[in-house]
Amino acid sequence: MEKILLRILFASSLAAAPFILKRKNLLMYLTVFFSKCVLSSSIDSFFIKKGKISYPVRPFAKVFDTNILYDLLFYPLLSVIWVRSTYQSKPVELLTRSLYFSGPMTLLQWFLERKTDLFRWKSWSVLHTFASINFTLFTIRGFVGLLKRITPEVRGGNFVEERSHSKMPSPEFIASTANHRLPNDNYAQIQ
C-alpha cells in the first residue's frame, strides 16, 4: 500500500508541476522550488540523524535516508503554491493562510504515520510536525520577501503577477510613423 501511495504522490506531483511552475515568473518559482528543496532536505536529514523521525518505505532507500519524493518534489511544489497565494497578504492574513497549509498537512502526516509505514516518529509529535512545516513555509516566504527588496527590477513591479516587458505602441504612434518617410525611401521616389 505504501508504494502505491508514493506512486500516486509522484504521478500527481509531476502532473501538477507544469501548472504550478508557469512560464510567467518561472525564475521566481524555480528559486522558491530549489530553496525549499535545500531547506526541507537539510532539516529532514538533521532530524533523521538525531533519530527523531524515519522513513521506512521511501524511494531509493539504499542511497537516501530522507524521502526524496517529499523533500525534492512534493513540499517544494506546495511552497510555490504557498508563495503565490500569500504574496500580497498582510501579516495577520499570512498567519491565517499558513493554517490552511500546515493544518491539513500535519493531520495527513499524523494519519499516515498511524496507518502506514511512510513515517515513523520516534521522539516526534504532531506539534513538531506543525512547527517544522510552519517554519519552512515562513522561511521560504521571508526569502521571497528579501529577494523582492534586493532585486532592482522587482522593486517597482509585482514579482508574482505577469509584467509586460514591452509596451504595445499606441494607435497614434503607429499612425504618425506610417506617414513618415525615410530619406532613402525608394518606394516614395517611384510614386
pLDDT of 76 reads 92
Strand positions, DSSP E, the chain: 53-54, 120-121
Any idea of the CA torsion for 127, 129, 133, 136, to the nearest 10 degrees? 100
Q: How many H-runs (helices) and E-runs (strands) does the chain carry?
A: 9, 2
| pLDDT given for residue 21 in this prediction | 85
| DSSP designation for 170 | P
**Contact predicate 111/118, CB 8 Å:** no
* DSSP H/E element including 30: helix 26-49
- What residues does each domain of the chain span? 2-155
Non-local CB neighbours of 80 within 8 Å, separated by 6+ positions = 20, 21, 29, 32, 33, 36
| pLDDT tens, residue order, the chain (191 aa) | 788 888 888 898 889 888 888 877 788 889 899 999 999 999 988 988 998 888 888 888 888 888 888 889 999 999 999 888 888 888 888 888 888 889 999 999 899 888 888 888 888 888 999 999 999 999 999 898 888 888 755 444 454 444 444 566 666 666 665 555 555 555 555 55
Strand partners, 54: 120
**Contact in structure between 137 and 101 (CB atoms under 8 Å):** yes
Output phi, psi for 125, to 5 deg.
-140, 180
Residue with cell 521571497: 144
Whole-number CA gyration radius for the chain: 24
In the prediction, which pLDDT does 161 show?
Answer: 46
- Percent helix, strand, coil in the chain, to 5, is 70, 0, 30
The β-bridge relationship of strands 53-54 and 120-121 is antiparallel
Q: Is 24 helix (H, G, I), strand (E, B) or coil?
A: coil
Q: What is the per-residue pLDDT for 164?
A: 46
